[in-house]
């Protein structure tokens, strides 16, 4: 069982917006702004999409945005495109034993 909880799957139609949640505790998501999000296509390495809750690395589309409220972080994809299909993982620093933890992943399907 992953330390951070994500929905197993979400779906949306092209052009729509969708949001993926990532729920942790005050020891990780709620206590620190070291939340990041990764996109993974089948057979490929993860790609950093958001770091420090809401910062986008250079080259990442501004259709991707991050936020946090309490112990839950969120990734929003606006203007959904077919290329956005894949698995998305959240991650956070934690002051419990493990230092960095990942969520179980969310499969995004574009209908």
Residues lying near another protein in the complex (CB under 8 A) = 2, 34, 36, 38, 44-48, 51-52, 57, 89, 91, 93, 97-105
Distance CA 9, CA 73 (A): 16
Distance CA 53, CA 42 (A): 25
Residue whose CB is less far from another protein, 82 or 97: 97
Please report how close the Cβ of residue 98 comes to another protein at its closest, in angstroms. 6
Residue whose CB is less far from another protein, 52 or 83: 52
Please report how close the Cβ of residue 45 comes to another protein at its closest, in angstroms. 4
- Pair type for strands 47-50 and 72-77: unpaired
Distance CA 15, CA 22 (A): 23
Please report how close the Cβ of residue 71 comes to another protein at its closest, in angstroms. 19
- 71, 30 contact by CB (below 8 A): yes
Residue whose CB is less far from another protein, 13 or 42: 42
């Amino acid at each position: 069982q992953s330390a951070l909880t994500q929905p197993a799957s979400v779906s949306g139609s092209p052009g729509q917006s969708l949001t993926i949640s990532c729920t942790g505790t005050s020891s990780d998501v709620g206590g620190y702004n070291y939340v990041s999000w990764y996109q993974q296509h089948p057979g490929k390495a993860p790609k950093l999409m958001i770091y420090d809750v809401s910062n986008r690395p250079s080259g990442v589309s501004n259709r991707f945005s991050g936020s946090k409220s309490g112990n839950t972080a969120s990734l929003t994809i606006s203007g959904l495109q077919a290329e956005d299909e894949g698995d998305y993982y959240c991650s956070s620093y934690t002051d419990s034993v493990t230092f960095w933890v990942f969520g179980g992943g969310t499969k995004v399907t574009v209908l």
